[in-house]
A and B are shown apart, each in its own frame.
Chain A
Amino acid sequence: MSIVHIPFLQTGTLAVGGRLLSEDERSLQSQADRPSSLTKGHRACQGCAEALAARWVMDTAVEAAGGRLIVANATGCLEVFSTLYPESAWKPPWIHSLFANAAAVATGIVSALHAQGRDDVRVLAQGGDGGTVDIGLAAVSGMFERNDDVLYVCYDNQGYMNTGVQRSSATPAAARTATTPAVGRSPGQAFGQGKSMVKIAMAHEIPYVASATPADLRDLEAKVRTAMSMHGARYLHVLVPCPVGWGSESSQSIALARAAVQSGIFPVIEARAGELTDVQRIRERADVEEYLRPQARFAHLFKTGGEDALARWRALAEANIRRYGLLEARS
């Protein structure tokens, strides 16, 4: 399920499609008749990368499952903006229960299908970083540990955004949120706090763990297809820039995801049974400033006194580049 190799055709694999591509070279999102599983009329903020990534993930999963997919959704932005009663922006069968239990609900659906003797329906669970890394971690960990046949997708916008931008354990260092104000000797989220959900998932040695961003559609589609070709517990972590919570221009959501990857801040990886198996190399190296400066939550890094924090951010990027070999020649 690797990415389709595109010959030299004006644009390469980074654009969504292209008029010169043959049928089998086209991404699903470039097709006029794509499922659009998360459709128009949803109430996501302008420039919401979560809404975008959710459509990409869901469309790919729906196609891979031959249209037979059930989705369990944790509480969070995605749930709130897509289902304002009495309307729903979802096309596939979709259920929301509680904040903490999306993984457990998905496990329950898998069990019910098994009890009915049905093996033709696939199950996907999804949530934000709050529902996954904080509140729902126990249920997610249990689902991983039992190796339940669920693809769990976390859309990580690095905080509790729809309730007013409070910090989560996925909020990055130095970021200003409503609960980590940019005041005092160590403004914003403290360095050293927070968890890496990708590493936690890998530590469970489940069949498949991957990270992705909306800056690379084909990579994301390939990873969902790969995950859907497998059984057991699978985890996909998607970084989704949030204009409201990050204080960025709504038009810059893709550009920020790109800068996160090209600066080394967000490693895009693939792991099987706990082993790192693939890493997306940096194509055009960007400084962390390209990622941080357009975000108001990091504005204090660029004022007097912010030098230390900026230097520590550079060190984080350097550590990732070293640890994952992000600058090594592409094979």
Chain B
Amino acid sequence: MNGHDAPPTIGLSTGPATSLAYHTGTWRTERPVYVELAPPCSLGCPSGEDIRGWLGSTQEGEAGFEAAWRRLVAANPFPAVMGRICYHPCQEACNRAEVDEEVGINAVERFLGDTALEKGWALPAPAASSGRRVLVVGSGPAGLSAAYQLRQLGHAVTVREAAAEPGGMMRYGIPAYRLPREVLAAEIRRIEDTGVAIECSTPVTSLDDAQAEFDAVVLTMGAGVAHHVDIPAGAASHIVDAIDVLRDVAAGNAPLVGRRVAVYGGGNTAMDAARTARRLGASDAVVVYRRTREQMPAHPTELDDAVGEGVRVQWLSTIAAVEGPRVTIEKMSLDEEGRPHGTGEFEELDADTVMLAVGQDADLSLLAGVPDVTVADGVVAVDPVTLMTGRDGVFAAGDVSPGSRTATYAIGRGARAARAVDAWLAARVLPAEPVQREASAERLNAWYYSDAPKQHRAELAAARRVTGFEEVLTGLDAEHAVFEARRCMSCGSCFECDNCFGMCPDDAIKKLGPGMRYEVDYDYCKGCGICAAECPCGAIDMIPEVR
């Protein structure tokens, strides 16, 4: 024997996984950090909905629907309404448009809203009573949003409405073929069920009296007064305001409009008026608009739907005069800055009725003789952060105040006003909305998202198509709503795809379990950046290592 005591071995041997003693993390010059960024859909949603969040719950299918709806109504108590009438700026912002086509967020919102009504889900119970009383003047989207959020915060809320029914422009401005009244009524009733008192046919006539009765007042009277233009018209001419026609139809007093109707204006109200005229029996509905399609303020889908229903549009035209059933039209031309000018060229149009839809003004009658509430540019001036008017304890939101005149904006501003009132009642300073970092399309690695199978897309397109006289747009069924929700790319927020965990060459990512996401093991992470590069949704930043 050779004198060795140790047993004979073949070569050298080491124990398994003994490399753990060596911390390769010291090599790192950059470190991966998980981030949570704001998706463009939410940044684009004037109501401030956590769209990515509620789509995320919807993705789980049946079991996630109620959670999805609860996340949705945290910002907007009207999903079934807004799932029908919103112009969905969220979809315009959606990053998926760069992959194939934007996510049909609005259709999923409607599905959740309708499902909640069908299942009878109740809004969350309000916080414990604060003992404070708040008056909301007007029951449109801004007013009811403010009332709902104030009630959630524990305040006693009374809404006073001048009209016979609550809902504002949702009730009296938007035709039933876009928003069935029972849907609106059900979502308003659900807000009342949380303890909000709505008093209809009760106009508020004195701000001083209101302030004597309540601790704070939110003005949400809207902009329901038709704007007028001077048109030379003969005595036999039939000229009406489009908004009045819509209101009368909504109230069940449909007017006679004749066979030929001209609608003057290019906004959404003009489209609603023309489509309503068709439904009231007009065989010929012509929209007279002084600029071109590109400049038209009406939403493109509204115009398409109107044209699809046989509405004609006379572009670059103004109504110069009306004499009985004869309307004189002047042709316009645009100058270099896109402003229309008369050409001196005229033509005649036959119309039994002329509907004016040239804009709406805020209803400011309550504020006559209230010197400390400033009116500027036809609306109530407010502090941009607190939405408080010039008078202490009086706030304003929605169309009566500055900003975009859409229901979604009104809902967002109503909620903002509620937070402002709550802060003011508690003598707290309401912070400005934080600036959020956006999860832009360049951050995404779209390679990983599924191709949306064609047959699903076709069925979805069909569900969005005009299908009838009653309600024009049909809803999605559960299968398609889940499919559509799963098209969400979860921009800027980890959705646990396991790419970072699976693709780390250094085995330096820990998977923490369902819903818990991951953690970087910085003892071993070399900072190669593969996790960040291969993260589909851009939820990992590489930041310089500071030692």
Contact = CB atoms under 8 A, between A and B. Distances in A.
B446 to A, nearest CB: 10
A300 interface: no
B505 A52 contact: yes
B17 A19 contact: no
A43 B505 CA distance: 11
Contact of A251 (B60, B521, B530): B530
Contacts of B15: 88
B450 A32 contact: no
B4 to A, nearest CB: 19
Interface residues of A, number: 56
B-side binding surface: helix, strand, loop or mixed? loop
Contacts of A38: 507
Interface in A299-324: none
A60 to B, nearest CB: 12
Contacts of B17: 39, 88-91
A124 interface: no
A134 interface: no
A331 B19 CA distance: 45
Given A87-B22, A89-B17, A252-B533, A39 B452 contact: no
A258 B496 contact: no
Contacts of B515: 19
A295 to B, nearest CB: 15
B328 interface: no
A238 to B, nearest CB: 13
A91 B16 contact: yes
A141 B499 CA distance: 36
A255 B20 contact: no
Given A46-B527, A86-B14, A258 B501 contact: no
Contacts of B16: 88, 90-92
A90 B450 CA distance: 35
Nearest to B508: A40
Interface in B94-147: none
Interface string A6-44: 101111101111111000000101101000101111111
Contact of B14 (A83, A251, A255): A83
A133 interface: no
Given A12-B450, A46-B27, A254-B533, A41 B503 contact: no
A9 B486 contact: yes
Contacts of A11: 448-450, 497, 536
A253 interface: yes
Nearest to B490: A10
Contacts of B534: 254-255
Taking residues whose C-beta sits less than 8 angstroms from the other chain, chain B's interface range is 35 or more
B469 interface: no
Nearest to B482: A8
Contact of A19 (B22, B448, B483, B514): B514
Nearest to A89: B19
Contacts of A30: 498, 501-502, 511
A8 B532 contact: no
Given A15-B448, A88-B18, A255-B533, A46 B528 contact: yes
B506 interface: yes
B529 interface: yes
B444 to A, nearest CB: 12
Interface string A250-262: 1111110010000
B529 A250 contact: yes
B486 A40 contact: no
Given A16-B502, A52-B503, A8 B450 contact: yes
A52 B529 CA distance: 13
Contacts of B496: 17-19
A170 interface: no
A249 B19 CA distance: 26
Contacts of B502: 16-17, 27, 29-30, 217
B316 to A, nearest CB: 44
B14 A87 contact: yes
A55 B450 contact: no
A8 B486 contact: yes
A82 interface: yes
Nearest to B524: A40
Interface string B506-547: 111001011100000101101111101110100000100000
Contact of A39 (B23, B488, B497, B507): B507
B451 interface: yes
A47 interface: yes
Contact of A88 (B19, B513, B514): B19
A51 interface: yes
A86 B11 CA distance: 12
Interface string A211-253: 0001001000000000000000000000000010000011111
Contacts of A19: 495-497, 514-515
B506 A42 contact: yes
A8 B483 contact: yes
Contacts of A97: 11
Nearest to B453: A8
Contacts of A46: 27, 526-528
A249 B529 contact: yes
Given A11-B497, A18-B497, A43-B24, A82 B19 contact: yes
A49 interface: yes
Contacts of B18: 86-88
A48 interface: yes
A32 B511 contact: yes
Given A11-B536, A88-B16, A29 B529 contact: no
Nearest to A13: B450
B507 A10 contact: no
Interface in B287-327: none
Contacts of B23: 41
A87 B17 CA distance: 7
A48 B505 contact: yes
Nearest to B502: A16
Interface in B455-514: 456, 483, 486-490, 495-499, 501-508, 511, 513-514
Contacts of A15: 448, 497-499, 536
Highest count of chain A CB atoms <10 Å: which of B19, B24, B448, B496: B19
Interface in A71-104: 82-92, 97
B432 interface: no
Given A19-B515, A39-B17, 9 more contacts: A10-B487, A11-B497, A14-B448, A15-B536, A20-B59, A52-B530, A84-B22, A88-B14, A254-B534
Q: Which 4 A-B pairs have the closest CB atoms?
A: A17-B498, A16-B502, A251-B529, A41-B19
Interface of B: 11-12, 14-24, 27, 59-60, 447-453, 456, 483, 486-490, 495-499, 501-508, 511, 513-515, 521, 523-524, 526-530, 532-534, 536, 542
8 contacts: A8-B453, A8-B483, A15-B497, A40-B507, A41-B23, A88-B14, A89-B17, A249-B529
